[in-house]
Amino acid sequence: MRICRVSVDGGLFFGLIEGLSEAGEIGEGTLVALLDGHPFGDLAPEGRILKASDVRFIAPVLPSKIIAVGRNYAAHAKEMGGEVPVSPMIFLKPSTSVIGPGEPVLLPWQSEQVEHEAELAVVIGRLCSDVPVDRVPDVVLGYTCANDVTARDLQKSDGQWGRAKGFDSFCPLGPWIVTDLETDAASISCHVNGEVRQRGSTGEMVFDVAELVSWISSVMTLLPGDVILTGTPAGVGPIRAGDEVSVTIEGVGTLTNPVVDRG
């Protein structure tokens, strides 16, 4: 099942996507069946079924918080000059950093080195805490693509990561949530202007999805819609005004955003 969030006639709706092309993209026959309310629990159809070309896709969820995991791929930890942590290393991104597919990543004047980080995002479906590893599937709604946009120069100079990771537009999410993804070996890649910059597999994670959700839920209560960014493979690099940056995850789809100066 693919759950999206769309803007229709000024209203915001969750919806179910039907009839993607063979390549898993929006095509002529793609439809969006609007839902009543939210997708956390029983799904209630609203009644309207619209052509995907007639709606605007927005971020598939608006989380109360985004928990991100640092250095969760050994090759990326190495390129950052750090060791693989012995337990998950987490930080928070503000909900106001979320943007949807097609919305611009805004380069802030405070940074001269903004970089892409392609990541698998886990969307929580139920209020939960202290979730055992084997119960994690019960609390996950699904998965989407994320870009953990980072002002690398500020990350290094500040020590704390709140500013470097927290600017408005620094958390593109989308294009939709896939509820039945196998996360043990999905390919993940990042392209800038069509050129491959990162290529890896979710199988390379130091801590897998179940371990991360369980560990994080032992620290803080997770709410429906909360998002966990699971770390990025090697190959992070700069994005500049005029670029187009894409994150692709096998079985999910592609999240594409233009990059512009914030001004």
**Number of residues lying near Zn ion (CB under 5 A):** 3
Q: Which structure tokens are listed for 242?
A: 């005029």
Whichever of 2 and 191 has its CB closer to Zn ion, that residue is 191
Q: Which stretch binds Zn ion (CB under 5 A): 110-118, 121-129, 196-204, 241-249?
A: 110-118
Looking at 2-10, 121-129, 148-156, 171-179, which segment touches Zn ion (CB under 5 A)?
148-156
Stretch near Zn ion under the rule CB under 5 A, chosen from 14-22, 38-46, 77-85, 143-151? 143-151
Segment contacting Zn ion by CB under 5 A, of 4-12, 115-123, 200-208, 255-263: 115-123
Q: Applying CB under 5 A, does 115 fall inside the site for Zn ion?
A: no
Q: Is 260 within 8 Å of 108 (Cβ atoms)?
A: no
Query: Which residue number, 117 or 226, has a Cβ lying nearer to Zn ion?
Result: 117
User: Tokens in use for 101?
Assistant: 């597919």
CA distances from 193 to 73, 167, 173, 197, 245 (A): 24, 23, 18, 10, 6
Q: What is the per-residue burial (b if ≥16 Cβ within 10 Å, else e) of 198-210?
A: bebebebbbbbbb
Which alpha helices (H) appear in the chain, and where do they start and end? Answer: 74-79, 136-139, 152-158, 162-166, 209-217
What is the spatial distance between Cα 184 and Cα 42, in angstroms, rounded to a whole number?
Answer: 27
- Beta carbon nearer to Zn ion, 11 or 159: 159
Query: What does the alpha-carbon distance between residue 167 and residue 149 come to, in Å, rounded to a whole number?
Result: 9
- Give the integer Cα–Cα distance in Å for 66 and 94: 6
Query: Considering beta carbons, is residue 13 or 167 the nearer one to Zn ion?
Result: 167
- Closest to Zn ion by CB, 224 or 231: 231
Q: Which is nearer to Zn ion, 232 or 256 (CB)?
A: 232
Residue 195: alpha-carbon gap to chain centroid: 20
Candidates 82-90, 112-120, 173-181, 242-250; binding stretch for Zn ion (CB under 5 A): 112-120
Q: Is 148 in the site for Zn ion (CB under 5 A)?
A: yes
Report if residue 232 touches Zn ion, rule: CB under 5 A. Answer: yes
| Phi, psi for residue 52 in degrees, rounded to 5 | -60, -30
- Residue 230 Cβ, how far from Zn ion at the closest point, in Å? 9
Q: Is 97 in the site for Zn ion (CB under 5 A)?
A: no
117 binds Zn ion (CB under 5 A): yes
**Residue 84 to residues 48, 206, 248: CA-CA distances in angstroms?**
49, 8, 25
Find the shortest distance in angstroms from Cβ 172 to Zn ion. Answer: 12
Q: Which is nearer to Zn ion, 42 or 87 (CB)?
A: 87
Least CB distance to Zn ion at residue 86 (A): 18
Residues in the chain: 263
CB of 119 to Zn ion, least distance (A): 6
- Residues forming contacts to Zn ion in the complex (CB under 5 A) are 117, 148, 232
